[in-house]
């Protein structure tokens, strides 16, 4: 029963959602199932939060390696949760917004999380530079094409591209670097992306069918029996 019920729910919901696209009478049911999904999705926050506390608490309790970072995680989590749940610093009451100006949650989000996240993302520039130095080498024909495409895109994504080739006649404007960059994105990239998308789409259909028919049960946790 532990496996049959989830498989039955998956098969019913999956079938109705597919039918709702093709048969108008099933549309209302499809909408309701989408709504159920949104309600259930809210519980993922409880599960996620609970799991985060459990994992890091065990790490701190057992003094595992780098347990100090887990303390930071737990303190940060508790601070954010408390400021959001109790609406500290913000407008009180059930209708008071947790993201209102002056609330602790909003202040911590804007002044701590936002700059820290942006900083981490910005560090990518350094690694991209180092990786480009090592990876973009004209070792063979394919690598050379990749190298040229990278140069066109790098130049085309800056005003320098137009500064360098803006003088090219209008009739030959395709050879202006920004236009070449658009061509690279619009033709070779597009062809590759579309073929991947079609492949992924077919894969999704196959995978969905396996799930609906109960042939794939890995989502139930572990074995496939």
Positions touching another protein (CB under 8 A) are 27, 30-31, 34-35, 37-39, 41-42, 44-45, 95, 97, 99-101, 106, 109-110, 113-118, 120-122, 125-126, 128-130, 132-134, 136-139, 147, 150-151, 154-155, 157-160, 162-163, 166, 178, 182, 185-186, 189-190, 193-194, 197
What's the token pair of residue 37?
């999904």
Rounded to an integer, what distance in angstroms lies between the CA atom of residue 28 and that of residue 52?
37
Q: What's CA 18's distance to the chain center, in Å?
A: 25
Closest to another protein by CB, 180 vs 212, is: 180
The candidate with the shortest Cα–Cα distance to 214, out of 8, 2, 1, is 8
DSSP string over 82-104: HHHHTTTTS--STT--TTSTT-H
Closest to another protein by CB, 102 vs 222, is: 102
Asked if 220 contacts 212 with a C-beta cutoff of 8 angstroms, the reply is no
Asked if 74 contacts 60 with a C-beta cutoff of 8 angstroms, the reply is yes
**Closest approach of Cβ 137 to another protein, in Å?**
5
**Closest approach of Cβ 109 to another protein, in Å?**
5
Closest to another protein by CB, 78 vs 130, is: 130
Residue 100 contacts by C-beta under 8 Å, 6 or more apart in sequence?
90, 91, 106
Closest to another protein by CB, 53 vs 149, is: 149
Closest to another protein by CB, 5 vs 125, is: 125
Closest to another protein by CB, 68 vs 78, is: 78
**Closest approach of Cβ 170 to another protein, in Å?**
14
**Closest approach of Cβ 99 to another protein, in Å?**
5
For 118-127, the CB contacts below 8 A with 24+ separation are none
**Closest approach of Cβ 55 to another protein, in Å?**
20
User: By CB neighbour count within 10 A (0-12 exposed, 13-18 middle, 19+ buried), where does 180 fall?
Assistant: buried
**Closest approach of Cβ 87 to another protein, in Å?**
13
């Amino acid at each position: 029963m532990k496996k049959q019920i989830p498989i039955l729910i998956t098969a019913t919901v999956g079938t109705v959602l597919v039918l709702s696209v093709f048969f108008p009478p099933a549309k209302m049911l499809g909408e309701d199932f989408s709504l159920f999904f949104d309600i259930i999705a809210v519980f993922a926050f409880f599960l996620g939060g609970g799991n985060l506390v459990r994992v890091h608490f065990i790490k701190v309790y057992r003094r595992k390696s780098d347990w100090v970072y887990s303390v930071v995680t737990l303190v940060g989590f508790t601070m954010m949760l408390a400021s959001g749940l109790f609406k500290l610093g913000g407008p009180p009451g059930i209708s008071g917004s947790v993201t209102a100006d002056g609330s602790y949650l909003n202040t911590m989000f804007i002044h701590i999380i936002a700059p820290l996240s942006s900083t981490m993302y910005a560090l990518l520039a350094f690694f991209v530079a180092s990786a480009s130095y090592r990876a973009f080498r004209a070792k063979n024909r394919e690598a050379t094409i990749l190298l040229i495409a990278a140069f066109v895109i790098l130049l085309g994504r800056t005003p320098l591209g137009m500064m360098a080739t803006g003088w090219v006649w209008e009739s030959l404007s395709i050879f202006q670097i920004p236009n070449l960059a658009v061509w690279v994105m619009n033709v070779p990239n597009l062809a590759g992306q579309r073929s991947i998308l079609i492949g992924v789409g077919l894969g999704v259909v196959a995978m969905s069918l396996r799930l609906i028919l109960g042939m794939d049960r890995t989502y139930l946790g572990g074995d496939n029996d």
